[in-house]
Each structure stands twice: as structure tokens, then as C-alpha cells.
Structure 1
Amino acid sequence: MTDTRDIAMTSKAWPFEEARRLVKRYEARPPEKGHVLFETGYGPSGLPHIGTFGEVMRTTMVRRAFELISDIPTRLICFSDDMDGLRKVPGNVPNREAMEEDLHLPLSRVRDPFGTHDSFGAHNNARLNAFLDSFGFQYEFASSTEYYTSGRFDEALLRALEQYEKIMAIMLPTLGEERRASYSPFLPISPKTGHVLQVPTLERNVAKGTIVYEEPDGERVEVPVTGGNVKMQWKPDWAMRWYALGVDYEMSGKDLIDSVTQAGKICRALGGPGPETLTYELFNDQHGQKISKSKGNGLSMEEWLRYAAPESLGYFMYQKPRTAKRLHFDVIPKAVDEYHQQLRAYPDQDETQRLANPVFHIHGADVPESHMVVSFAMLLNLASVAGADDAATLWGFIRRYAPAAGPSTHPDLDAAAEYAVRYYNDFVKPEKVYRAPSVSERAALEDLRDRLADWSAAPDAEELQSEVFAVGKAHGFEPLRDWFRTLYEVLLGASQGPRFGGFIALYGVDETRALIDAALSGELVASGGTA
């Protein structure tokens, strides 16, 4: 362990770089609370989306790295701000008209439009928990409503009341003139309507622990800041939570840079140091727009998991968190194949390489073995030419290519075959556009077909790849990638594809020859889209 810890202390993998900041935080003495607290936040105003998962995944990676280089115990809290008022009805939920009636109520009191839980907040919390549980995260779920109403925040809320002027001095310069006139860090929960009220604080009594505000009907009301009678504004709320819980580490998106800055100032005004933070870049959809819970654009967690295993999503999240990435369906095949490439590399790597391998940060020391003897990209192309409707069709080819493979001995490959069929039918098949070959391309295809007819050796992927290369060179393709693009567009109906020698070995020499004949006769163009 000592050697591993020493290597981890110098590893350039970003989770270790983050973890070393926490080690430095407590190099003089351990935390008084007895543990290092990691936190992730979730606003359940919309359905959980993939960015929420990414935050928990990445935070878990830092936590795992910290546990390798420190003996201080850790906790991870996933905190849901379900006491926030519903400001607008999301566009991707049913029964939107009924939800309009619940505007301004805390999310934990808004009726569930899906009819499955006590509230909209509870519904979205359950969705989040179910997914995090399915991935095996070790975390503690925390509800803002429960923390406020149970009194767990009371001491911190009273401290915020004492430091009211300091909080206002931090916040007011960041607000516009109109907002400054009505701003208060405390949002009363109206005893009349149950609404979360955005109203100024008219009076405050530190000794009594109360504030006075005015209801929309003009009545002045005095309420305690404790016991769930108020909720704090977003930035002061975040800071109060850091202070109350002693949060040591939290990451957040680029759009919250200002919030992190102001919350850090407020936390220090309350008397806490504030956490170590990491700002990550945001995910964009296929149009380059930031993905949003309320818009429902980009990929949902459920959508990714329809087409690939969750470990591939973890791999995607590991990659360069400070770099913006496009998050659309077409990133899935690449993520799957790169994840398995890293799995295959791991057993032969030394300790330094292993600690820099993404699969260590996804799985910890218990890294599984990859059984993907056929890549996901190849499975997609196989599904395309075979017109596969189920995984069994693909297994007919896989067994011939790898006789020792089977669903029971290669479960990840079996799952990938199922995913590939779904992905093919949903995304590849509708976009397939075959084209007829040109005169020179036809001659090259005929040559490849004839060479395959004379092929008597075993269907070795590398030897077949060399033969495909030889045909392209013999027919003057320059650059040679134009020859492979011809194969993809004419035979597969796609603009890109696999190493073609490997495809022939998997699909079959005779079957590939028949595929070429179908293309030359115009059968493929007639059966699909045409360019």
C-alpha cells in the first residue's frame, strides 16, 4: 500500500490532483468532525439528467483517490434542494396545467405530475436515487426539506441571522437595482399559501431568532428563521449548508462560477472555511447548446443506458472534466470501445500506469476483465449488414469468429450485442444511404470480390486487412482512405466504418463476397436510401 500511496501522491490523473488538495487541507490536523465530507447538489425542479450523474461520478472518483492517499474517513452527501420554490413548469412533464396551480410551492409540496409519489420533488429524488443505486455509488441522500424542518440547520440559520448585514454586503453589489430593493437572504414560507416568498426582510430580531416580512395581502408577519419557516436564497443557502455540515469538497459547472465565489464569501462570513471546489465544463447537445433539465435536450441517463453499459458512461465522465464535450447519441460507440481498450490494457500495466488508467477511477482496485472480443463499432456494422433484430442474430456470426465465446462466458459482449441491435435500429438504420459505385470503384470491388473467391486461408483479420489494402493500392486510390470510404458508403451505407479486414473475418468471407455482388447489382441501393 505504501508504494501505491507514494505513486498516487505524484500521479497526474486529475482525481489524484484534486485529492492532494484535500490532503493539504488537513496536513496540520485531522478534521474535528472526524471525516472529510464530499457533497454534490441536485435541484429537483426538472427530471434528473446525465449532468447530475456526472457530478456524482466525478466526485466519487476524487473521493476514491483521497481514500487511497489518506487514512481520514470520508462521507459523500447527495443533497437535493427540494425546498426550493417551483418557479416554472418543466416542458417535459405530463399534466402541466395542474402543476401551474402549484407554482411557488416548495418542490416537496408540488403535486407529482406522474402520480407515483407524494410530490414532484420526491418523484425526482427517487429517480436520482434509483440510478445512483443501480451504479453502486456509496452515498447518503439528503433532503433540504428534511434538514430545514427537522432543525438540523437551525444553528446555522441563527448564525446567518446574526451575520445578516455581512451577507447583504456580499450579495447586494452583485444584484441589479430593482433586485436589490427587494432582496433578502431569507425566504419566508407563507403560513397562508405555503408559497416560498421573495420578499424583503422588514425587521429582524437576533435575540428571538425571527424576521418580519409582509405578505402579498399587506399583512406583516413575524416568523422564526428556524424549524422550516424560512428557506435561504440560493447562494446564501449553499454557503449555509457548507458551514452547517462542514463540507470539504464540492464541484460544480462553469455556469455557477459566480455562485461559488459569493457562497465562499458568505461561508467565511459565517465562520467556516468553505470547501475545496472544482469547476467543470458543461455538456452540449448536438447543436452546441448547454443541456438542461427543464428543456430535456441532450441525453438522459435512461437514454444512455438503453444503448450502453453504465461503465461506458463513467468513462465518458472521466475524460477531461474541465473541457466542454458534446453529449449526443453518436458519442456512445466510441466511449464503449475506448472503455474496453483501457480494460484490456490494465492487467499488463505497472502501478503508475494503472493509477492513471480511467478504469481504476471508475472501478477502484476491483477492475473487471473485458470479454469484448468484438468491438461495439464492429457489432453495429454487423447488425447493419445482417439486418439484425436481436442479439441472437449477431451471435451466429460471433461464434464463428470466436468459437470459445458465448453469452454465459462473455456477458459484457452479450449485453453489447443487445445494445448494438437497439442502437442500429434507432440511429443507424434510419440514416443508411447506399450509393452506387463509380466505374473505377466498381473495378476495385470486383477485384476484391474475386480475391475473396480465391481465399483459402483461415479468415485472419490482419491478413484480410492487408488484402483489402492491396486492392486499394492496385487500383490507384489516393489517398488510400478514399478506398475505405468507398467500401463503407457502397457496402455499409455509412460514411465511416470498421477495419474492413476485421469486418470480413467476423461477417464471413463468402458473406462479404455476396455483399459485394449485391452492391454491384444495385440491390443495396434499391433496398435502402440512395445518395
Structure 2
Amino acid sequence: IYGSLISWPFIEAKKIIENFGGLNNFSEPIKKYVLFETGYGPSGLPHIGTFGEVVRTSMVKNAFEALVDCETKLITFSDDMDGLRKIPDNVPNKNMLEKYIGQPLTSIPDPFEKYESFGHHNNAKLCSFLDRFKFEYEFVSSTNKYKSGDFDKTLTTILENYEEIISVILPTLRSERKQTYSPFLPISAVNGVVLQVKIEEYRPKTNSIIFIDPANNKKTEIEVTKGNCKLQWKVDWAMRWMSLDVDYEMCGKDLIESFDLASKICRVMKNKPPVNLIYEMFLDE
């Protein structure tokens, strides 16, 4: 029966099973469960694409559970430490948000005036949305993971291997971007903005980086841990896989190049990227 299963969720489940030795020689992960991840960018409200990724991943998770006696977990990870790039069209109090451009979404006041921050508002909408359809999931906040220190060990490893990581990323960048690129985005102690600045010096021995803060033009040294900085998106994705030990994550076709690059970063760090499925996008026309 196993070999004849051709429904796509079962095909995906079999890919995961083969990663752990196959059906007859299945070796349970050290963490005692298989981890499925979905992602959410809370700069906007959850939408049909958010729902689609969770429902598809749940289908693969259910297929896996039907084939193997192994505990599973599905997490929905919110990138709520990302800086606000622009003000969404569908929010009130737009003028109030203007002075917070660039700050982490969980540091910005909620324009709806209901939650601790704009990030918290959108996270709550996501959880309410998923709960309505009775999904089994665990919500995980990027802000909480960075600030609690859960990511610190992996961040330290990335700092120790920054040269190799940069060598993987630079060939994918335009020439002007190559001059200032860094995997690390320090958060300004002056104005709270997530900074895209050139790193003047990497100091693995002190777990720190040195940069010029444009808010005051002063040379600044900060530790890369304890929520003092976050990572650029593709490195952040790879770091998350490594830190959480993610076994399966699907993504839309718009992220094919990002997934491939994050996978290369994972391998540079002697880690295996998760099993992946690329899906088509929902179109509104």
C-alpha cells in the first residue's frame, strides 16, 4: 500500500519518512517529534494565502501521522520582529504610524488601539483566523524567540561563520548592495529602527558587531544576541530551521530562490534544510 500512495499529501509525507530512514527503518528524531512549520508576515492582516499554507501543511502532517507512529507538531511562525516598511492601506490612524517606519512590528503602537502593538494585533487576528477552522498548531513569535535568547546559540554560530555565509549570498546581490550587505540587522538604541547598515567589524570573540548608527553618526558596538539585532530574511529563515530543527516547510513559488539560498546557508552550517514543497499562488484576477 505504501508504495502505491499517489495523493500529493502522502507523497510529501513519504519524502519526510525517507529522510528518517524509510518506513521499515524509521528512526525517530532526537527531539522525539517531527516539526512542520508555516510562516506569516504580520506587516498585514492574514489572508487566503496564509490559510492555504496552513491547510496544505496540515494535510501533509495528517498523511504522515497515518503512515508512521511518531509525534508531530505544527508551528505557525510570525516574523513580527521585521521592521515596518510601509503603512498598509487597510489600517486606521495612518498618520500616527508614520514616525514608526522601520521599527519592529511589535514595537509599533496598534493603529486599531486594541493590542499592545501592531504586530500583536495582527498575530491575534492570525490565531483567531486559524482557531475558527480548528487547526492544531502552536503560535511562535520571532520577537519572543530573539528576546528570550532561544535563538542566541544559533546567532553566535552564524557570527562565527559569517564569512562563509556572506560568500554564499554576495553572488546573488547587485554590485551596490554587495558593498554594504551584512547578515545582521542591528536595532538602533537611539530610535529603535531595524538598521540596514554596513557592519564595520565582526567580533566573534565578544559576540558583537560594530557599525555606525545613522541616528547619531556614532560608532556603536552591540552583542548580536538578546534581541539586540535580527537577521536578514534569507539568513533568518535558515537560522530558524536550525534553531527549531524544522523538518518540513512548504512555500509559494515566489520564494523558490529564497528557499534555495537559505538551504545553502543551512548546509554551510553543517545542517540539513527541511523537506520542501513549492506551491502555486492564489490569483485574484
Cα shift at 1:240? 0.3
Larger Rg: 1
Cα shift at 1:42? 0.4
Which residue in 2 is equivalent to 1:251? 250
Distance 1:8 1:105 in 2: 50
Which residue in 2 is equivalent to 1:265? 264
TM-score where L is the length of structure 2: 0.96
Which residue in 2 is equivalent to 1:420? none
Distance 1:200 1:244 in 2: 26
* Residue correspondence of structure 1 range 211-250 to structure 2 within 5 A: 211-216=209-214, 217-250=216-249
Which residue in 2 is equivalent to 1:175? 173
Cα shift at 1:166? 1.0
Q: Does 1:283 align with 2:277?
A: no
Which structure's residues are more often strand, by fraction? 2
Aligned residues: 280
Distance 2:3 2:34 in 1: 18
Gaps of 5+ in 1: 1-6, 287-531
Give the residue type in structure 2 aligned to 1:65.
A
Residue from 10, 13, 29 that aligns with 1:16:
10
Distance 2:18 2:192 in 1: 45
CA contact (8 A) 1:83 1:107 kept: yes
3-state SS in 1 of match to 2:179: helix
Cα shift at 1:127? 0.4
3-state SS in 1 of match to 2:69: coil
Distance 1:47 1:136 in 2: 19
Give the residue type in structure 2 aligned to 1:19.
A
**Greater relative contact order structure (CA < 8 Å, 6+ sep):** 2
Give the residue type in structure 2 aligned to 1:69.
L
Distance 2:157 2:99 in 1: 35
Residue from 157, 161, 174 that aligns with 1:159:
157
Which residue in 1 is equivalent to 2:19? 25
3-state SS in 2 of match to 1:277: coil
| Farther-moved stretch of structure 1 (149-158 vs 205-214) | 205-214
3-state SS in 1 of match to 2:230: strand
Which residue in 2 is equivalent to 1:132? 130
Q: Please list the CA deviations of residues 147-177 of structure 1 after superposition, one character each: whole Å capped at 9, or x if unmatched.
A: 0000000000001001101110111111111
Which residue in 2 is equivalent to 1:112? 110
The two structures, once aligned, show a CA RMSD in angstroms of 1.0
3-state SS in 1 of match to 2:115: coil
Distance 1:8 1:109 in 2: 49
Q: 1:9 to 1:36 in 2, by over 3 A?
A: farther
Which residue in 2 is equivalent to 1:59? 57
3-state SS in 2 of match to 1:93: coil
Q: Does 1:85 align with 2:83?
A: yes
- Identity among equivalent positions (%) equals 54
Q: Please list the CA deviations of residues 450-476 of structure 1 after superposition, one character each: whole Å capped at 9, or x if unmatched.
A: xxxxxxxxxxxxxxxxxxxxxxxxxxx
Gaps of 5+ in 2: none
CA contact (8 A) 1:106 1:196 kept: yes
Give the residue type in structure 1 aligned to 2:181.
Y
Distance 1:9 1:199 in 2: 52
Q: Please list the CA deviations of residues 158-204 of structure 1 after superposition, one character each: whole Å capped at 9, or x if unmatched.
A: 01001101110111111111111111000001111111000111111
Q: Which runs of 4+ in 1 moved over 3 A?
A: none
